[in-house]
Amino acid sequence: MAADLAPKITDLKNLQDLSKIFALPMLAVAYIMQTGLVVSFDEFEFIRVNWEGSLGIAWFQTFWVVVLKTLWMALWGSIFNGVIGLLHTNWNELVYPLSGMCFFTLGLLGLFPPKEVLMNFSSVSNFWFYACFVWGFFCIAMDTQHKKT
């Protein structure tokens, strides 16, 4: 029974491979869930999904909000990953494992929050914490990939 509950090395490898695919989309989904279906900058709204009008127009607006927010988060996620990779190379290859550990910790903290977290971060979408798990596996995958090269 205990052997069935223990994670297998192949399962971890699969999670690492999946994290390479899902790391940036998870950020985009968390960002969209946090900020809603609107693209704005300093109180100026570029696009807001209006479900009151035509359904076709609402889906068109949704498409563009998703595209723009996904590109925005892909840009920031790529910059973040590039900085971690650069630091990892320059600091004795410790940054990816430490970053992964921090992401896992933050993800667990979001799933099992103490009272202080609940009171002060109640406006934060839970999906950010799930994204932290994916980024934790992503950092481990990047560390493994870095060691192979």
pLDDT digits (tens, 9 = 90+) for 17-59: 889 999 999 999 999 999 999 998 888 888 999 889 899 999 9
Q: Does residue 6 fall inside a structural domain?
A: no
Q: Does residue 129 fall inside a structural domain?
A: yes
Q: Does residue 5 fall inside a structural domain?
A: no
- Supply the pLDDT for residue 1: 44
Residue 6 has pLDDT above 70, yes or no: no
**Alpha carbon of 118 to those of 105, 115, 122, 132, 133: distances in Å?**
16, 5, 5, 17, 19
Q: Does residue 3 fall inside a structural domain?
A: no
Q: Does residue 75 fall inside a structural domain?
A: yes
- Supply the pLDDT for residue 4: 56
What's the pLDDT tens digit per position in 69-93? 999 999 999 999 999 999 998 888 8
Report the predicted TM-score, pTM, of the whole model to 2 decimal places: 0.81
Q: Does residue 141 fall inside a structural domain?
A: yes
Structure confidence at residue 117 as a pLDDT band (50, 70, 90): confident
Q: How many domains does the chain have?
A: 1
Domain with 73 in it? 11-148
